[in-house]
Amino acid sequence: MSQPRTRLVLRPEEASIPAGHGLHRLPLIGGAIGILGIVGVAVLGGGQPQQMYAAWLVAFLFFLSLALGSLYFVLIHYAVQAGWGIVVRRLAEIGASTIPLFALLFVPIILGMRSLYPWTVPGAADHDAALRWKAPFLNPGFFLTRAGIYFALWSIMALAWSRASRRQDATGDLAISERLRRFSGPALLLLALTQTFAAFDWIMSMTPDWYSTIFGVYFFSGAFVSAAALLSLVVVLLRGSGLLRDVIGIGHLHDLGKLVFAFSCFWAYIAFSQFFLIWYGNIPEETIWYRARLDGSWKAASAILAVGHFIVPFFFFMGRTMKRRPLALASGAAWVLLMHLLDIHWLVMPTVRKGVAAPSLLEIAALLGVGGVFVATAGWLMRRQPLVPVKDPRLPESLSMSEA
């Protein structure tokens, strides 16, 4: 039972996209799709601003959650000193490095604030005591300031960690790893708090009367499992296109699969906790939010979400075999991403489209728009650096687990 010799060192060229490889065209393809999508949104959304901005918000939140989840992945990796995932960490860093882009993609949401957030409409608080109470927090000025703070902090964290990791490609400097580890703890705290309030601001306040203390955790759970799924999918696609085959091995795929399994269970736990406690207490102030999501065809959408986001991945990723077969892992990961998209759709759309759950052409256009730009940016970043941190001091350890 002889196995291939495990590599212990990596040259930058072996981890980068070779010249002439198809992936070099990714920014162009992504950019084209993005422009197509944005034009589609403008054309289709012309007469229905609320639907247009909501569709954009869904697309924005979906791809942002992938980027934020990737940032969590990187920071947690450093904080807990995990060894297995060094080989995939650079890919997560690339995902996280797209965050500054989202500051730009946020502009349509600022433009459409009045359609999305009832409390931004001037005079809304005049006849609503609850909105008057919340006005010190829910006012456009503070809302925009907070958004600025979120993007600033997230960008600083994402770029700081990514840049330092890139610098390490040249020097292999141990001190860089040590420094990144030391600051990952406080960074995680900041990320958790800012991401929580971003979820409150951008999603929860669409229904300003409603509130849930677990909402920030809920958004995190979806973001993290999707980032793990995205990582799995990207790794399998890269290997499929001939890259990194002897660097990222079945053992790493298995570990990524375990992460997807565990965190889809975690998502289900958080989602059920929120639903269950509100259902059991049966207080109208809280149940209105779920009532909107059980109205008309949203009921079916909720059922599909529960089964698709939990039951299906649970049985799919439970056994050993599925996690160790690249095609199976990629399919399962793609499914999880689709379910996460459904989750975001289910969070946002019921407020602006009662009773009708089916996604519209507008939403698809928005997804192409935001997604195209996201993929273009990620593709551009992938071209500029090795896809694996080639001189990370712990790389040999991670490489040794390729068949684990």
Partner 1 sequence: MTRTHTDEFENPVDRRPALILDKPEFRSITDAVVAPLDAPTPIGWWFVFLPALCLLGLLGIAVSWLFWEGIGVWGLNIPVGWAWDITNFVFWVGIGHAGTLISAILFLFRQRWRTSINRSAEAMTIFAVMCALIFPGIHVGRVWLAYWLAPVPNQMGTWPNFRSPLLWDVFAVSIYGTVSVLFWYMGLIPDLATMRDRAKSKIRRLVYGIFALGWRSSNRHWQHYEVAYLILAGLATPLVLSVHSIVSMDFAVSQLPGWHTTIFPPYFVAGAIFSGFAMVLTLMVICRTAFRLENIITLRTFDYMSKIMLVTGSMVGYAYAMEFFIAWYSGNPYEMFAFTNRALGPYAWAYWTMISCNVLSPQIFWFKRARTSIPILFVASIVVNIGMWFERFVIIVTSLHRGFLPSTWGYFRPTIWDVSCLLGSFGLFFTMFCLFVRFVPMVATAEVKAILPQADPHHAPRPERTAASTLRPEPVGGGAH
Partner 2 sequence: MALLTHDLPPGPDYGLLAEFERVDDLYRACERVREAGYTRWDAHTPFPVHGLDGAMGLKSSLLPWIVLGMGLTGAALGFGLQVWVHSYEYPLVISGKPYFSWPAYVPITFELGVLFGALGAVFGMFAINRLPMHWHPLFNSEQFERSSDDRFFISIESWDPRFDAVATRRLLESLGAREVTTVGAA
Smallest gap from Cβ 260 to partner 1, in A, equals 14
Using a 10 angstrom Cβ sphere, with 0-12 exposed, 13-18 middle and 19 or more buried, the burial of residue 396 is middle
Rounded to whole angstroms, the Cα distance separating 11 from 6 reads 15
x/- binding map, residues 244-283, to partner 1, per CB under 8 A?
---------------------x---xx--xx-xxx-xx-x
Separation of CA 213 from chain center: 21
Shortest distance in whole angstroms from residue 324 CB to partner 1: 15
Q: Which is nearer to partner 2, 42 or 303 (CB)?
A: 303
Residue 81 contact partner, candidates partner 1, partner 2, none, CB within 5 to 8 A by sort of partner = partner 1
Residue with tokens 């422009």: 35
Region 257-286 residues binding partner 2, contact defined as CB under 8 A: 272, 275-276, 279-280, 282
- Report how many residues bind partner 2 under the rule CB under 8 A: 7
Amino acid at 256: L
Q: Take residue 146 and report the two structure tokens written for it.
A: 């907070």
Q: Do the beta carbons of residue 401 and residue 394 sit within 8 Å? A: no
CB of 276 to partner 2, least distance (A): 5
- Which listed option, partner 2, partner 1, none, makes contact with residue 283 (CB within 5 to 8 Å by class)? partner 1
Could you write out the DSSP letters of every residue in 337-373? HHHHHHHHHHHHHHHHSTT--SPPHHHHHHHHHHHHH
Interface stretch with partner 1, choices 118-126, 132-140, 150-158, 373-381 (CB under 8 A): 132-140
- DSSP-based helix, strand, coil % in the chain, nearest 5: 75, 0, 25
In the bound state with partner 2, the residue whose beta carbon lies nearer, of 47 and 280, is 280
Instruction: Provide the mask over 143-182, with x wherever binding to partner 1 is found by CB under 8 A and - wherever it is not.
Output: -------------------------------x--xx--x-
Neighbours of 122 (CB within 10 A): 8
CB of 111 to partner 2, least distance (A): 40
Which 281-340 positions form the footprint of partner 2 (CB under 8 A)? 282
Min. distance of Cβ 221 from partner 2 in angstroms?
18
| C-beta of residue 292 within 8 angstroms of C-beta of residue 354 | yes
Phi, psi dihedrals of residue 198, rounded to the nearest 5°: -65, -40
Quick check: helix, strand or coil at residue 333? helix
Residue 64 binding target from partner 2, partner 1, none, CB below 5 to 8 Å by type: none
Span between the terminal Cα atoms of the chain, in Å: 14
Q: Which residues of this chain interact with partner 1, rule CB under 8 A? A: 1-3, 5-6, 8, 81, 83, 129-130, 133-134, 137, 174, 177-178, 181, 185, 189, 192-193, 196, 200, 211-217, 265, 269-270, 273-274, 276-278, 280-281, 283, 285, 393-394, 396-397, 400-401, 404
